[in-house]
Structure 1
Amino acid sequence: MHVLILGGTTEARRLAELLHGTTGLRLTSSLAGRVASPRLPPGETRVGGFGGPDGLAGWLSEHMVDAVVDATHPFAGTISFNAAEAAAVTHVPLLALRRPGWVPVEGDRWHEAASLAEAARLLPALGRRVFLTTGRMGLAAFADLDDLWFLVRSVDAPEAPHPPRMEALLDRGPFTLDGERALLRRHRIDVVVTKDSGGAATAPKLSAAREAGLPVVVVRRPPVPEGVPVVADPESAAGWLCERLGQHFYPGR
């Protein structure tokens, strides 16, 4: 049996670890290739795009894939919809593995935005020194805000177009609450921008912003394609695969 994991996330690596070594299972993890030195999961890996839904459908057929788990980042919307279309064409079962989104608590000063462009429109009324934690992709949405200063944190160096007044901080989570507190103080941050990625690895920035009374612009995540079942953790994804692939599949054995 052949399982394809569309990965690049902590959850995808954890699922690969759960499945690795399972008797009778071929496991392939696909990475988008947007990070120069990704953390590779166990099992086979491939890097790069498929060429749209038709290319992915062809790959599923050529490699005789029995099930697909879309464990991509919650904001990697294009591949999710390509996967849904390809799975429908090839009749391959598809599951979405999505970590739960963050939920505001008492003391949070959240301002929700539907897109990076909307987040950029909100910023001038909220602060002047911005901690931008949406990654290096999509910085063009903030490129016209020349009155604001940005601290941009990403794994790899950002490329133009980006805000003209910007300092890049190359770092990879998980991050600590003490570290985030110190970062906000050191750079005199007065507003934070984040995507609703969910998970614990980057959540401390929200706690640090709450303690400091800072506004946070939270970009809402795109929806999962209609009709695709969703689970919240790798263990549930492994259980779904066991049910789908039946007697041919025994996780961990």
Structure 2
Amino acid sequence: MELDRRLLLAHCTAHALSIVAGLLVVVPMALNGSAFKGRCALFSIGYWRTEDREELTGQPEDLSHLVVQQWGPPAACQFATFVGIFTVLYGAAQGWRCLFYLHGRHDDTLFSSFLTVLLSVCVLFLSGGASVILSLGLVSWCDTVTDHDTRPYSCSESQSVPLYLDVDTSSFYNELSLAQASLWGVTALWLAQSILAFLRLYHSHSQHISRPRGPREKELLLGHSPSENGSPTPPHPPTTPTIIV
């Protein structure tokens, strides 16, 4: 198996894995957005309030519930979802191209390979930024839910505790933690794709340099003219003598 074929197979595998990882980002984020009625839990600001409900039940009872002062910016959740959707679409398109190249036994041009490297590096930084935002946002929401670890339960256990909000919080930790892990996996895959794209660019450049050239191209590269290599020069046409009257 030649080197370019191994690189294509590795790139196809990376694209296939990126499709799966991207779906594992998009689906949990969509489910969480639906459960929270379009609100973003990341970087939300709130506090716990304790109220006396004796006037309602007739018995002294303290009820603690979470009060959300401000929900997180929607862009924090939308950014992670965008990276996941783009990864799925790009992975499907590039995976099909890799299979086409494997069947046709050829690779991208130098310019196309360079664009692939540039795009992979750009999306690598975008996915890395989205991973950091999602991780920090989840930590901030967990601090709000657990009241900075003063509650007798952890963040994962708080999804089974009634928070008395007007949203469904029964599975927020499972959804956001799965999206977080998958998004970091997407970032790792974009790093692998950037490396593979660079190796394919280097391989294509090496093949372009070592490609056999014709005699005329070799002479131009060496700076020789055809007459210097022993080829006969064309004879000059005979001149007609001029008669001066």
- Flag whether TM exceeds 0.5 (same fold): no
- Which one scores higher on RCO, CA 8 angstroms, separation ≥ 6? 2
Q: What is the TM-score of this pair, normalised by structure 1?
A: 0.22
Which TM-score applies when normalising by structure 2?
0.22
Larger Rg: 2
* Higher-strand-fraction structure: 1
Please state which structure has a larger fraction of its residues in helix.
Answer: 2
